């Protein structure tokens, strides 16, 4: 005579399967609205500080420090949102999000070092906006709908910066890393939570 199936174990196995399937197909919803807003606010401050530097090295140093600060704010805000939302940062959508975001940003870092050494800092604002936008747009395919739109806006601003005189670079950085982050950050916070 066959042993009866324990319904509790069977139900748990089914729930585990459903959760894993949903996780694989779900969206990465931990994009931080308030984190984006704060990243934008620090970028506005960096714009002001960078404009007052008397050398390329000083200007570049301010923006590299700002990028470090923005990454810190972003990582902490994502961690906080996943922690409070009982979600995993390392879920399948989270991994796809970061694996899509990282290559354009890494390319931007390498190109920044090369262009800085060649004294071609005038193209950096457009390059940063364009590649950051590409990262946000590709990663946004695994997130909520507004994220790819934000990436597209960054890319458009980066293209405009590359087509404009280098003296306008700080203004484009303020509009992108400042204005777009604050605007989309508030939108994401309001529609999708913190």
CA 92 to CA 27: how far, in whole Å? Answer: 9
Interatomic CA distance for residues 66 and 50, integer angstroms: 10
Q: Give kind and range of the element (H or E) at residue 124.
A: helix 124-139
Backbone conformation region of residue 193, classed left if phi is above 0, alpha if psi is from -120 to 50, else beta: left
Closest residue by Cα to residue 172 from 150, 154, 151 = 154
Pair of tokens at residue 81: 């949102």
- Structure confidence at residue 22 as a pLDDT band (50, 70, 90): very low
Q: How confident is the model at residue 24 (pLDDT cuts 50, 70, 90)?
A: very low
- Judged by DSSP in three states, 58 sits in helix
Name the residue among 63, 72, 60, 4 with its Cα closest to residue 35: 72
Q: What is the mean pLDDT of residues 19-31?
A: 53
- Helix ranges (DSSP H) in 85-122: 92-117
Between CA 137 and CA 145, with CA 139 as vertex, the angle to 5 degrees is 65
* Percent of the chain topping pLDDT 90: 54
Residue 124 has pLDDT above 50, yes or no: yes
> Counting Cβ atoms within 10 Å, is residue 89 exposed (0-12), middle (13-18) or buried (19+)?
middle
pLDDT of residue 30: 58
pLDDT tens-digit readout, 130-143: 999 999 888 887 77
Note whether 31 and 188 are within 8 A (CB): yes
Domain boundaries, the chain: 30-192
For the segment 95-123, what is each residue's pLDDT rounded down to a tens digit? 777 888 889 999 999 999 999 999 999 99
């Amino acid at each position: 005579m066959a042993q009866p199936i324990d319904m509790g174990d069977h139900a748990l196995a089914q729930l585990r399967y459903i959760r894993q399937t949903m996780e694989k197909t779900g969206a990465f919803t931990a994009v931080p609205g308030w984190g984006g807003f704060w990243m934008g606010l620090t970028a506005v401050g960096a714009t002001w500080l960078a404009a007052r530097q008397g050398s390329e090295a000083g200007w570049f140093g301010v923006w590299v420090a700002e990028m470090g600060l923005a990454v810190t704010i972003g990582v902490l805000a994502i961690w906080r949102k996943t922690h409070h939302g009982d979600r995993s940062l390392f879920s399948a959508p989270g991994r796809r999000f970061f694996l899509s975001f990282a290559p354009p940003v890494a390319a931007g870092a390498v190109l920044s070092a090369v262009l800085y050494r060649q004294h071609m800092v005038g193209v950096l604002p457009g390059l940063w906006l364009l590649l950051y936008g590409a990262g946000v747009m590709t990663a946004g395919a695994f997130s909520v709908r507004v994220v790819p739109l934000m990436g597209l806006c960054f890319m458009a601003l980066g293209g405009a910066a590359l087509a404009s005189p280098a003296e306008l670079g700080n203004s484009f950085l303020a509009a992108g890393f400042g204005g777009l982050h604050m605007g989309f950050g508030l939108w994401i916070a309001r529609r999708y939570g913190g």
